[in-house]
Amino acid sequence: MPRQVNMQIKNTFSLILLLLFSFMIPSICPAWEDFPRNEQGSYLDSAGSDDAEEEYYPSEDEENPFYSDYSDSEDVSEGSFQYGDDEEGAQNEVQQPAASLRPPPLEPGDPINLAEKSIRLGRIPYRSLRELMTQAVPLLRFLQKETGAKEVRLVSNRTNYASVLDSLARGSIDFAWVGPTAYLSRRDKDKLMPVAKARFGGKTAYRGVFIAPAKGRVQGVEDLKGATIGFVDPESASGYVYPVYLLRSLGIDPARDAKVLFLHNHDNVLRAVFSGKVEAGVCLEETLNSIKDKALLSRIIVLAKTDEIPSDVIVCRQDCPINLREGFLSALLNVNEQTLPKSPTFMAAFDDDFASVESLMQYVDAPMPAPKKSQVKQQKK
Whole-model pTM: value is 0.69
pLDDT of residue 204: 87
Question: How far is it, in rounded angstroms, from Cα 253 to Cα 160?
Answer: 23
Tell me the domain boundaries of the chain: 46-77+107-204+310-363, 206-309
Q: Which CATH architecture does the domain made up of 46-77+107-204+310-363 adopt?
A: 3-Layer(aba) Sandwich (3.40)
Write out pLDDT tens, residues 136-193.
899 999 999 999 999 999 998 777 778 899 999 999 999 999 999 999 999 999 999 9
CB atoms within 10 A of CB 257: 17
Q: 377, exposed or middle or buried, with CB in 10 Å at 0-12, 13-18, 19+?
A: exposed
pLDDT of residue 87: 35
pLDDT of residue 284: 93
- Residue 211 φ/ψ, nearest 5 degrees: -130, 160
- Record: fold of 206-309: D-Maltodextrin-Binding Protein; domain 2 (3.40.190)
Question: How far is it, in rounded angstroms, from Cα 113 to Cα 40?
Answer: 42
Write out pLDDT tens, residues 235-262.
899 999 999 999 999 999 999 999 999 9
Distances from the Cα of 21 to the Cα of 14, 17, 18, 38, angstroms: 11, 6, 5, 19
- Tell me the mean pLDDT per 10 residues along the chain, length 381: 56 54 34 28 25 32 43 36 34 46 80 96 82 86 96 84 91 95 94 95 91 96 96 92 95 94 92 95 91 90 96 96 97 94 93 92 80 47 42
pLDDT of residue 127: 76
